[in-house]
Amino acid sequence: MCHRRFGWIILITVVLTSVSCIKPPPVVDTRLYSLNQKGIIENPSKPKSSLILGVRAFECSSSIESRMLYRTSPVQIGYYEFERWAEPPGEMLTQAFVGALTDSGLFQMAVREEHYPVSAFSRIVSGRLERFEEDHTTMPSTALCVCEIEIYDPKKDKLVFKKSYSAREPLEEDNAENFARSMNKAVKRLMQEFIRDIENSVSSEQ
């Protein structure tokens, strides 16, 4: 009996010693980056029209997510291990469009479409984000944003505008911080081009 108890004591001691030697997994320092949703329109103006604009949440291609995406060939992509967008890219782009269209002064109001009934809007902007990536197939590497944007007239029940946009900005170095900085520049340029495109058509309706 004494030998059996002694054996259990040795086993328990060995187990406790082994458990105490197991180190917890290292803490991963996830770094978050975001789009700058201010300053896209450099000189914001007061509303020049009575049109009320709804902005629908942008859809995204299946490869676009919060993990920061890079492309190494036309058919090969990868993701940064610890770097993330602070919000899903489609959500960041939707919020940036709301802010830029408000600051443009082309509309009396620009708001998220899901917060109001469709009948409340003069126009509804929607879009699909096709590419939102660090592209290593160019020299130097570039931040690339590609999206298709549509404008729908709910009162006439018809599509009044549709265009694909693409903007690239070079990276100083291939890393997440420079990728985020260049993507901010690309998105700003893309949205400024879109606002210039629709400015004349909006003005003609006043």
- Spell out the per-residue pLDDT of the chain, length 206, in tens: 545 554 545 445 544 455 455 666 555 688 999 998 777 777 777 777 889 999 999 999 999 999 999 999 999 999 999 999 999 999 999 999 999 999 999 999 999 999 899 999 999 999 999 999 999 999 999 999 999 999 999 999 999 999 999 999 999 999 999 999 999 999 999 999 999 999 876 655 55
User: Structural domains in the chain?
Assistant: 51-203 (3.40.50.10610)
Which value, in Å, is the radius of gyration of the alpha carbons in the chain? Answer: 25
Residue 124 identity: I
CA–CA separation, 116 and 57 (whole Å): 13
Stated pTM of the model: 0.82
Task: Report residue 140: phi and psi, to 5°.
Answer: -75, 175
Termini Cα distance of the chain: 99
